[in-house]
Structure 1
Amino acid sequence: MRPFKTHRQQLAILRSRNLVIPDGSRAMRILEKENYYNVINGYKDLFLETDSNDSFKVPEEYKFGTTFDEIYHLFSLDRDLRNILLKYLLIFENSIKSKISYYFSKTHREDHAYLQLKNYSKDPSKLSTILNLITKLSQQISKSAQRDSPIKHYLDNHDSVPLWVLVNYLTLGVMSNFFSCLTPSIQDLICKDYSKQFNKDYGTTYQVTNECIEGVLKSANLFRNVCAHEERLYNFKVNKTPKNSHASKILGIPISFLNGNLFTMIAFLKIVLSKKDFKTLVRTLRDLFNQYQSKFTTIRHDQILLRMGFPKDWTIYLKV
C-alpha cells in the first residue's frame, strides 16, 4: 500500500512533475474539500506527457505549462455535465415508467398482474430475466411494506399495489429489464407513443422500434449510474454498445458517432424527450462548453469534446 501523504506533500510531488501551482493555499483547500484522488487521479490524463509509444511517461510528467487550475476546471466541468445530464435522464426515466405502468396495467387489469409469468414475453430466451424481474418486484413490495409508504398504504387498504405506484420505487435498470420482458404488443404501444411525439416535433414519419428503446434504456441506465455515483463522465463509454442502426436512421447521425460515448447518450435523448426539453438540453450544454472554453491553455477545448465523442459542429448533427 502506498504510504500516506499530507496535502502539502502531495502538492510538492505534483510540482516535481512540472505541474504549475501558483497558489498553494488555494490548491490545498481544493484537495481538502474534493480529495486528491478524485481531482488529480481522475482528470490528469489529458495533461500528461507521453512517450514515442503514446504511453504515459514514467515517472509522470505534466505537459509544459499545465496548471493545477486546469485539472480542477476539467473536474468542475465534469461535475456540471453530470448534473445537467442527470436532470434529463430523470425526465426520460419518469416518462418510461409512466408508459410501462399505463400500458401494462391497461392490458392486464388483475391485482398484481406484474407478478404473473403469463403476462410477459413468451420468448424462451427471456425466461430467466422475467423470473428475476418478478422476484425483484416482489422483493421491493416486501421491503417497502416494512415502513410507512404508499406501498404499505395500498397493501393495508386495498390488498394490492398498482404498478403505477410500484414503479416509483424501481431503478432504471429494473425498468430496462421490465421493458425487455414485455409482450411485443405492449412494447409497440410504448414505441408508438415515442414515435408520435418525435414525428410531431420534427415533422418526420419514423417509427421508433422496440430495439431502439431498449438501446436507449440500457445506455441511460449506465450513464445514470455514473451521474448518481459522481463517477467520471466526460470520457465514459458503454462497453457493449446497443445496436444503433435504427437510431442512426432516425437521428440522421452517422453510426460511427454513436459508439457509446457521452455524445451518443445525448443524441439518444432526442428520441425520447420532447423537442422543448431536448432544445434546452443542447442549449445548456453549448453554454457550458462556451463557459469553460477559455479555461484550458495546455490542451485544446476540442480535445475534451473529442473525448466525449462530440464531433466538430456537433449541434448541427443534433438538428435543433
Structure 2
Amino acid sequence: MAKDEILYTTTSKQLEKLKSQNLIIENEERAYKRLQSYGYFNIIKGYRNPYIFKNENQITYRDGVSFEQIYSLYLLDKNLRNAVFASMLDLEEHIKAVVADVIAESFGVHQEDYIQFRNFRDKKRKSSRFSLAKIINCMKNALDTSKDPVAHYRDFHGIIPPWVLFKNLYFSTIVNLVNLLKPEEQRKVACRLYEPNTSKGNIDNLRKIMMDTLFICLEYRNLAAHGGQVYNYVCSSRLRSNSFSGDSNLLDDYQGFSQLLFLLRILNYQNPFNTLNKVLNEQVNRHCHSFPQDITYLGQILNLNIISENIVWASSNGTIYHSFPHCSGLHDPIKLNLEEAKSKGYSPCKKML
C-alpha cells in the first residue's frame, strides 16, 4: 500500500484495530455506537495523543487506557468548544453595541457621516482583506442588503445607525474596524469595556489589551465555529508583553485556554467568562473524577489547579441524578455532590450506566 493511501474500514474493524493496539474496550456496543455517531477520526485521531506511544509507524496505547477515557476527553473538548462559541457570540453582541455607541457619539448616526475615511486610520495590514478601503467597502455593501433590520431602516427611515448596520457585519469586520479607529475613539471603547483609572497611560495600556483580546477572541470564535480542538489550543494571536504595567510574569502565568479565561475575566461584561468558566469546571470535574490519572495532564494543559469533585445534577422534585445539567430535558437543575445525591436516595440516570 502506498504511504499516502487511505482505505475505508468498517466500525467493527476499527474496534479490532484499537484492541490490537492495547486499548481497552469495556463496552463494545457502546463504543461501536459512539464511533458511528461521531467518527473514528474525531474521537480517536483527535484525542489519543496523551495516551499513546509511537514507534516509527506503530501506535500502542499505554497500559490501562480505555476507549471511554479517550471518549471522555473528546466530550470535554466538545462541550468546551460549544461553550466557547456561545461565549464568543455573547461577547460579539456586546462589542458591537459598545463600538456602535462610540461611533455614533463621535461621528453621528447617519451612514454618510460615520462611514467616512477621515474617521479612521489607514494602517498597513498584512492582509489587504482588512485594509481600511476593504472595511469601508464592506460596510457600504452591507447598507444595500435585503436583510432586516438594515433593509427596514433604509426603506422606511432613510437612516441606518451603526448599531443597526453592525447586526449584518461579521465579528472579524468589527474587530478590524476597531483596530482602524483613531486613538481617541479606541480610548472611548476601552473605557466602556474596562474599569480604567484616570491616567492616559493606563487607558492606552487598556487599548493594547483590548485589541489583543479582540483578536484572540476572534481566533477562538473561528476555531470553535469550525470544530477545532480548544482545550489545548495556543493562539497565533499574542498578548503583548508590555500591556500589563510592569508585570513581566503575567504572560507566563496565563497561556492557552487560561489566557482566554483571564482576558474575559477582566472585562466589565462578565457573562462570557461566567459561561465558559462554569462549563470548564463541570467538564474537568466530570472527566477527572472518572479518570483521576489525567489530573496532572489537564492541569498542565489548562493551567489549572484541579481538585476533582464528582458533581451530578437533579431536578428538585425528581429521583434521578445526571452527569449534565441539561440531560433528559432537566429544567432548573440543582447541583449536588455524588455522595450527597446517593444519601438523598437519588438513582443514576440510565445514560450513566
- Give the match for residue 305 of structure 2: 312
Distance 2:246 2:270 in 1: 18
Matched with 1:195 is: 194
**Structure with higher helix content:** 1
Partner amino acid for 2:115?
L
The offset of 1:182, in angstroms, is: 0.7
TM norm structure 2: 0.75
Contact 1:188–1:210 under 8 Å retained in 2: yes
Paired residues of 1:92 and 1:273 also in contact (CA < 8 A): no
Which of 133, 143, 147 is matched with 2:135 structurally?
A: 133
Correspondence 1:174-253 to 2 at 5 A: 174-196=173-195, 207=203, 209-247=206-244
Tell me the equivalent position of 1:5.
9
Of 28, 32, 36, 1:32 maps to 36
Q: Could you say which structure has the greater relative contact order, defined with CA pairs below 8 angstroms and 6 or more residues apart?
A: 1
C-alpha contact (below 8 Å) 1:82/1:227 kept by paired residues: yes
Q: 1:243 to 1:23 in 2, by over 3 A?
A: same
What SS does structure 1 have at the residue aligned with 2:262?
A: helix
Say whether 1:291 aligns with 2:283. no
**Once the 2 structures are TM-superposed, how far is the Cα of residue 124 of structure 1 from its aligned partner?**
4.6
State the 1:66 CA deviation.
0.9
With over 3 angstroms needed to count, the CA separation of the structure-2 counterparts of 1:157 and 1:312, relative to structure 1, is: same
Contact 1:39/1:75 (<8 A) preserved? yes
Normalised TM-score (structure 1): 0.83
State the alpha-carbon separation in 2 of the partners of residues 231 and 19 from structure 1.
Answer: 25
Give the distance between the partners of 1:157 and 1:173, measured in 2 at CA.
29
- Alignment check: 8 A CA contact 1:111 1:162 kept: yes
Give the CA deviation at 1:206. Answer: 5.8
Q: Is the 8 A contact 2:264 2:272 kept in 1?
A: no
Quick check: 1:20 aligned with 2:24? yes
Q: Is the 8 A contact 2:82 2:224 kept in 1?
A: yes
Q: Does structure 2 conserve the Cα–Cα contact (< 8 Å) formed by 1:48 and 1:61?
A: yes
Specify the SS of the correspondent of 2:266.
Answer: helix
Aligned residue number for residue 252 of structure 2:
256
How far does the alpha carbon of each residue in 1:41-88 deviate from its partner, in whole angstroms, 9 at most, with x for none? 1111111115xxxxx653111111110000100010011112223333
Q: For the structure 1 residues 178 and 23, does the alpha-carbon distance in structure 2 shift closer, same or farther, using more than 3 Å as the test?
A: same
- Taking the aligned partners of 2:8 and 2:229, their CA distance within structure 1 comes to 24
CA distance in 2, matches of 1:160, 1:126: 31
User: In structure 2, how many angstroms separate the alpha carbons of the residues matched to 1:100 and 1:231?
Assistant: 29
Gaps of 5+ in 2: 308-353
Matches within 5 A, 1:55-94: 58-94=57-93
Task: Indicate if the aligned counterparts of 1:102 and 1:164 stay in contact, CA closer than 8 A.
Answer: yes
Does the residue aligned with 1:243 lie in a helix, a strand or coil?
coil
Structure 1 residue 303 corresponds to structure 2 residue 297: yes
Q: What SS is found at the alignment partner of 2:224? A: helix
Alpha-carbon spacing, 1:124–1:194, altered in 2? closer, same or farther (3 Å) = closer
Based on CA coordinates, which of the two structures has the bigger radius of gyration?
A: 2
Q: C-alpha deviations, 1:115-142, integer Å up to 9, x for none?
A: 3211112x55369521121122223333
Give unmatched runs, 5+ long, in structure 1: 51-55, 200-204, 315-320
* Aligned residues between the structures: 295
One-letter amino acid of the structure 1 residue matched with residue 164 of structure 2: V
More strand by percentage: 2
Could you tell me whether the CA contact under 8 Å between 1:49 and 1:57 is conserved in 2?
no
Matched, 1:49 2:21: no
Quote the Cα distance in structure 1 between the aligned partners of 2:38 and 2:268. Answer: 33
Instruction: Report the Cα distance in structure 1 between the residues aligned to 2:107 and 2:279, rounded to whole angstroms.
Output: 41
Q: 1:101–1:167: 8 Å Cα contact kept in structure 2?
A: yes
Q: What whole-Å deviation, never above 9, does each CA across 1:137-185 have from its counterpart, x for those lacking one?
A: 223333x32x4x2111122123342210121222221111011011111
Residue type of the alignment partner of 1:48: I
> Match for residue 111 of structure 1?
111
Distance 2:30 2:75 in 1: 15
